[in-house]
């Protein structure tokens, strides 16, 4: 009719009710439990998987009779997307719950204020103060090296790099992204510990936290370069062109326009690199030794780290060691989370987003 306006108020269509949707889900769960548990072919995991499949099939059948095949297919795909989201979140939630529930057992002042020096297998005390100090110093030094080098390398590749040399640099960055951490540790062991450190230690090789920081730098560099390069490429070209039209030189355009615009993405890439470095065990074990006592000097003597501390305590025969390992793992995750939140807050304070 010409006088009728098609609006949501006068358009009516049959929809699959929520109660029926829940009924299909409950029926699928009951049927799956009867099949799996009744025949004894699996446990609750198989029950959930089979119930999900039966739910999707039943939803498609019953919704098609009420809404039509097209709307039923849309509802089924929507349910599959929601299911995939839940399945993606479940492992993360399980890890967080396990860390918190098991890590709270030794979350006390003694754990954060003492080391493992003079702690035997029958001693319930002992903490990770030395490992926390080692992690902060090693990751801090590695960040001081890797962030400027990585950001400058990405700026060269995006703003200046042309031709074969830039392609070669990009190729080796991609190759370094996938190298195992133990390879970086072996490289620093053969170069710094066995060749360079004897020059400063009366001819004797020496483990140190600085050597571990160098190994972590090797692991952080490719991640920072690649993430920063992608963020710089996302900066709109008209921003650069507008600055050039006003007579601003290229270096100042990069410093005042390009980098502030890409800062949130760059910070995200840096924090991913820091999180990877903080969780590495093999390089620290190879070049820092995993000292059980407190050592504030990263340039002399071995050091431990939280990741190495977790590895050592998880393999210790003492009945008190697993609790220390879980608390150290919770501490490591909390440190990375705190640094990430702080970096995100600082990244918002740039001139182009105020």
The per-residue DSSP string of 20-60 comes to: HHHHHHHHHHHHHHHHHHHHTS--HHHHHHHHHHHHHHHHH
Asked if residue 112 lies in contact with residue 129, where contact means CB atoms within 8 angstroms, the answer is yes
Q: What angle do CA 42, 90, 340 make, to 5 degrees?
A: 155
Collapsing DSSP states into helix, strand and coil, what is residue 3? coil
User: What are phi and psi for residue 303, nearest 5 degrees?
Assistant: -145, 160
| Helix then strand then coil, % of the chain, to nearest 5 | 75, 0, 25
47 HSE (CA, 13 A, CB side): 15
Q: What is the mean pLDDT of each run of 10 residues along the chain (354 residues)?
A: 51 74 89 88 83 87 84 85 85 89 89 88 87 94 94 92 86 88 92 90 89 94 93 90 89 90 90 91 90 89 91 88 92 90 74 47
Q: What is the pTM of this model?
A: 0.81
Is 217 in contact with 187 (CB distance < 8 Å)?
A: no
Query: How many degrees, rounded to 5, is the angle at CA 207 between CA 312 and CA 299?
Result: 115
Residues 6+ apart with CB under 8 A from 228: 150, 151, 154, 155, 262, 265, 266, 269
Q: What is the pLDDT of residue 49?
A: 84
Based on C-alpha coordinates, what's the Rg of the chain?
28
Question: For residue 316, how many other CB atoms are within 10 A of its CB?
Answer: 15
| pLDDT at res. 352 | 46
What is the distance, to the nearest Å, from the Cα of residue 21 to the centroid of all Cα atoms in its chain? 36
- Residue pLDDT, tens place only, 226-274: 999 999 999 998 888 898 888 889 989 999 899 988 988 899 899 999 9
Query: How far is it, in rounded angstroms, from Cα 192 to Cα 201?
Result: 12
């Amino acid at each position: 009719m010409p006088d009728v306006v098609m609006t949501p108020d006068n358009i009516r269509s049959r929809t699959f009710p929520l109660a029926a949707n829940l009924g299909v889900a409950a029926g699928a769960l009951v049927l799956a439990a009867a099949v799996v548990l009744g025949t004894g072919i699996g446990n609750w995991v198989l029950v959930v998987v089979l119930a999900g499949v039966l739910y999707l099939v039943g939803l498609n059948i019953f919704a098609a009779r009420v809404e039509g095949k097209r709307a039923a297919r849309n509802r089924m795909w929507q349910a599959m997307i929601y299911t995939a989201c839940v399945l993606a979140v479940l492992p993360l939630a399980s890890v967080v719950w396990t860390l918190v529930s098991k890590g709270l057992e030794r979350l006390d002042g003694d754990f954060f204020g003492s080391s493992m020096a003079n702690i035997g297998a029958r001693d319930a005390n002992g903490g990770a103060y030395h490992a926390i100090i080692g992690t902060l110093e090693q990751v801090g030094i590695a960040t001081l090296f890797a962030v400027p080098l990585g950001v400058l390398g990405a700026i060269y590749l995006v703003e200046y790099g042309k031709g074969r040399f830039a392609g070669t640099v990009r190729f080796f960055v991609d190759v370094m992204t996938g190298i195992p951490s133990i390879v970086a540790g072996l490289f620093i062991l053969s170069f710094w510990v066995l060749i360079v450190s004897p020059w400063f230690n009366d001819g004797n090789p020496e483990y140190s936290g600085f050597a571990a920081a160098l190994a972590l730098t090797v692991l952080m560099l490719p991640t920072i370069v690649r993430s920063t390069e992608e963020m710089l490429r996302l900066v709109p070209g008209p921003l650069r062109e507008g600055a050039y039209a006003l007579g601003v030189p290229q270096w100042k355009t990069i410093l005042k326009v390009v980098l502030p615009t890409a800062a949130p993405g760059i910070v995200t890439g840096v924090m991913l690199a820091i999180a990877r470095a903080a969780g590495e065990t093999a390089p620290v074990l190879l070049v820092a030794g995993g000292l059980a006592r407190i050592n504030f000097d990263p340039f002399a003597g071995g050091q431990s780290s939280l990741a190495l501390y977790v590895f050592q305590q998880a393999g210790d025969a003492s009945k008190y060691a697993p609790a220390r390992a879980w608390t150290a793992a919770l501490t490591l995750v909390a440190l990375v989370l705190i640094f990430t939140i702080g970096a995100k807050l600082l990244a918002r304070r740039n001139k182009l987003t105020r």
